[in-house]
Amino acid sequence: MLYPLKFSPILKDKIWGGTKLKNLFDKDTDTNNLGESWELSGYEGDESVVTNGFLAGNNLAELIEIYMGELIGDKLYDEFGLSFPLLFKLIDANENLSIQVHPGDEVAAERHNSFGKTEMWYVVDADPGAVLIIGFTKDCTKAEYLDALEKDKVEDLLQKVPVTKGDVFFIPAGLVHAIGKGVVVAEIQQSSDITYRIYDYKRKDDNGNERELHTEQALDVINFAAARNPKTNYKIQLNEITPLVECEYFTTNMLRFDAPVTRNYGTLDTFVAYMCLEGNLIIECNDEKTVVNKGDTVLIPAEINEVGLIPDSLVTLLEVYVL
């Protein structure tokens, strides 16, 4: 019988990374440039490995091959086979990330044999004055955009959004975006690593070279329309489910609770993932208990219909599944 699965994070050094993932979530690293922690991944070459229970040591692709619909849901197994459809990350931007855009499914499949990349961000932490770049301030033409790129003024066209802890943003494929210095986010995305970098502040790598830009590839991917109301509005309901984002690729809810909660998934034919961003809890399931600490991401297999969530204090979970 399957059970709630915990995984070893896959840690990624980045030129723009820092120390907040270690400080906030106790990620085990000696680097001062930890940019990303891949919390739950089936991406080829970066498959998450189970750390708890009798399946410890097996990676996610192996588990899908063995348990199929029992793990991820029959519908998802029929659609994705051995591919896990989502990727869960924690990201620390100690410096500005490059301004970038991601292709949708059609372009990604044609060019890269990959899924597209639609994603969302939950802001875990933000320094005073920190911003995100999200889309254009007004409708823009390709000619205006290329002229601004040539004159090193592309930032003038883009919308800078002040952010604070708890802000949520939905980033569909085609929306130009960047995480600004001093921001930590939890990112939920399609399982893709295709990024078109359109501007990188003339930053140089360890060899003194400016990083590659993907100007031509990005041109027919970018949505040049003004990005209106980029922030997701929601109202927290303590000990209740708070909907955040629902799209064709994933549904994300927030659960902030300080009393025991029961979640019934009997009507869902899908896995459920929890990202624990604040507090610690115990998951009770099939007479077993799984300890979950701040910074853990847990996979609830599709065959599990009900779990009990027992907090030790105030807990914030992101609950994610695919409809």
Dihedral angle sign, alpha carbons of residues 81, 196, 105, 14: positive
Sheet containing 119-126: which strands, arranged edge to edge?
10-18, 34-40, 86-93, 183-190, 119-126, 168-171
Which of 116, 6, 12 is CA-nearest to residue 63?
A: 6
Tokens representing residue 136 in the block: 């254009």
Q: Which candidate in 111, 197, 203, 256 is catalytic?
A: 197
Give catalytic status of residue 197 as yes or no. yes
Across-strand partners of 158?
136
With b for 16 or more beta-carbon neighbours within 10 A and e for fewer, the 223-254 pattern comes to bbeebeebebeeeeeeeeeeebbeeebbbbbb
Q: Report the number of secondary-structure helices (H) and strands (E) in the chain.
A: 7, 22
Active site residues: 197
